[in-house]
C-alpha cells in the first residue's frame, strides 16, 4: 500500500549493485527489487522476507529481466483483488488469529457489503476491495442507525456498540499482519482502503459497571446506624 521504499539490502549482479527494499515496516515483509531495463520499469517482489532468500530470488529475477525472459509486469492498480481472494489468502497465510476469529472478520465484512448494497453473500465476495471505502462505512452506520442519509456521531446509543463492533471486526482483515500476507501473495491492495480503515466510530454508551454509583454515605448509613443503635 505504501509508496515509501525502505532499504533492506543490496544484491550484486553482473558487476552492478541493486537495492532491495520493503514497502512496509512490518517485520517479515517480502523484499522487492526495482529495475529499469530498455526504458521499461520493472518492480518485482522476491516473495521472501529473509534477506538471504530474497537475494537468491532477486538474482533470478534480474537474469530473467536482462535476458528477456521476464513477463510484462502488471502496472499497479490494473486489477484490484476481490473480497474472496483476500479471505482465501488470509486463510492460507501465516496464522495470526484463531479460525473462529477469522470467520467473524469475514462475516462482518460480508454483512456490511450485503446490507449496504442490498446484495447476497455470493455477490459480496465477488466485489473488488476498492468498494471498501470510508463512504461505505458511513452508509452502513447510517443504515443501522435508521437516520436516513445522515450519521449521528455525537449521541451515545445502545445500537452503536453493535455497529462499531461489525466495522472493527471487518477491519481485522486488513491489519498490518494481514497486509503482509497479501503482499506475499502479490494481491493488489488499493490506497482507497485507508478510508475504510480510518472512518470514525460512533459514540457508545458507557461500558462501566455503573454510571450512577450509590453515594458512599448511603452505603455506610444503615451499617453505621446498626452498629450504634
Please write the tens of the pLDDT for every residue from 141-193.
999 999 766 899 999 999 999 999 999 999 999 998 898 888 878 788 888 89
Q: How many residues can be counted in the chain? A: 229
Query: 123 burial class (0-12, 13-18, 19+ CB within 10 angstroms)?
Result: middle
Position of cell 518492480?
Answer: 43
CA distance 66 to 35: 10
Q: What cell numbers appear for 6 in the block?
A: 525502505
To the question of pTM greater than 0.85 for the whole model, the response is no
User: pLDDT per residue over 105-147, tens digit each?
Assistant: 999 999 999 999 999 999 999 999 999 999 999 999 999 999 7
How are strands ordered across the β-sheet holding 6-13?
6-13, 16-22, 32-37, 40-45
19 vs 55: CA distance, rounded Å: 10
Cα 12–chain centre separation? 34
What are 194's strand-pairing partners? none
Amino acid at each position: 500500500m505504501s509508496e515509501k521504499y525502505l532499504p533492506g539490502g543490496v544484491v550484486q549482479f553482473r558487476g552492478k549493485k541493486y537495492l532491495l527494499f520493503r514497502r512496509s515496516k512490518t517485520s517479515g515483509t517480502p523484499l522487492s527489487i526495482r529495475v529499469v531495463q530498455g526504458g521499461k520499469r520493472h518492480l518485482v517482489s522476491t516473495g521472501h522476507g529473509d534477506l538471504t532468500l530474497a537475494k537468491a530470488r532477486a538474482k533470478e529475477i534480474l537474469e530473467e529481466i536482462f535476458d528477456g525472459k521476464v513477463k510484462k509486469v502488471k502496472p499497479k492498480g490494473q486489477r484490484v483483488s476481490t473480497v474472496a481472494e483476500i479471505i482465501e489468502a488470509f486463510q492460507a497465510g501465516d496464522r495470526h488469529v484463531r479460525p473462529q476469529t477469522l470467520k467473524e472478520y469475514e462475516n462482518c465484512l460480508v454483512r456490511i457489503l450485503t446490507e449496504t448494497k442490498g446484495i447476497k453473500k455470493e455477490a459480496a465476495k465477488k466485489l473488488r476491495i476498492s468498494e471498501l471505502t470510508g463512504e461505505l462505512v458511513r452508509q452502513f452506520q447510517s443504515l443501522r442507525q435508521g437516520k436516513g442519509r445522515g450519521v449521528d456521531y455525537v449521541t451515545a446509543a445502545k445500537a452503536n456498540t453493535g455497529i462499531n463492533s461489525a466495522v472493527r471486526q471487518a477491519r481485522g482483515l486488513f491489519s498490518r499482519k494481514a497486509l503482509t500476507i497479501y503482499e506475499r501473495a502479490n494481491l493488489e491492495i488499493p490506497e482507497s482502503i485507508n478510508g475504510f480503515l480510518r472512518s470514525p466510530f460512533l459514540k457508545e454508551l458507557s461500558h462501566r459497571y455503573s454510571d450512577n454509583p450509590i453515594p458512599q454515605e448511603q452505603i455506610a448509613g444503615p451499617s453505621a446506624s446498626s452498629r450504634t443503635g
